[in-house]
Amino acid sequence: MIENKVLFQNKIKFIVVHCSDTSDDLTAIDIHKMHLNFGWDGIGYHKIICKNGNIENGRPEFWVGAHVFSKNNKSLGVCLIGKNNFTKKQYLSLEKVLINWKKKYPNAIIKGHRDVTETKKTCPNFDVIKWCQDREIS
């Protein structure tokens, strides 16, 4: 059992921060429905952070995500609801999620979606690497 946990922990190479690029009143259920309409197996992110700072569960961590092309099988995804006007509560919750995941997956590198793969997307519309450095999350 412990060997399986270690294998899973070593499998996670990236923690990827996203934004929904949608209206501000969405929840994990709304994202789940949207992703089902894309033909996916449901919500692609592992955590959703609502505008009020609530952290909602998406896919379980052991389930491969659907959030970053070619990296899903070795990453976890967290999504901030909104486009770029994130709240202080969202940032505090993001910090909490990232610190928790870094404890569980110490070898994982935290990046924004735009930084983890070649894409024209600007998601999550802020510099995650610098934001983490400023908070000493690494």
- Summarised one tens digit per residue, pLDDT across range 56-97 is 999 999 999 999 989 999 999 999 999 989 999 999 999 999
In a domain, 73, yes or no: yes
pLDDT over threshold 80, residue 23 = no
**pLDDT at residue number 3:** 44
- Is 35 among the residues known to form the active site? no
Stretch 39-64: mean pLDDT, rounded?
95
In a domain, 1, yes or no: no
In a domain, 56, yes or no: yes
pLDDT over threshold 60, residue 5 = no
In a domain, 24, yes or no: yes
Which one of the listed residues 32, 35, 45, 47 is annotated catalytic? 45
In a domain, 87, yes or no: yes
- Is 123 among the residues known to form the active site? yes
In a domain, 5, yes or no: no
- Is 121 among the residues known to form the active site? yes
Which domain does 33 fall in, by range? 12-134
Q: Give the number of domains in the chain.
A: 1
Give the CATH number for residue 107.
3.40.80.10
- Is 113 among the residues known to form the active site? yes
- Torsion sign, CA atoms 112, 60, 75, 6: positive
Which burial class, exposed, middle or buried, applies to 104 when counting CB atoms under 10 A from its CB (0-12, 13-18, 19+)? middle
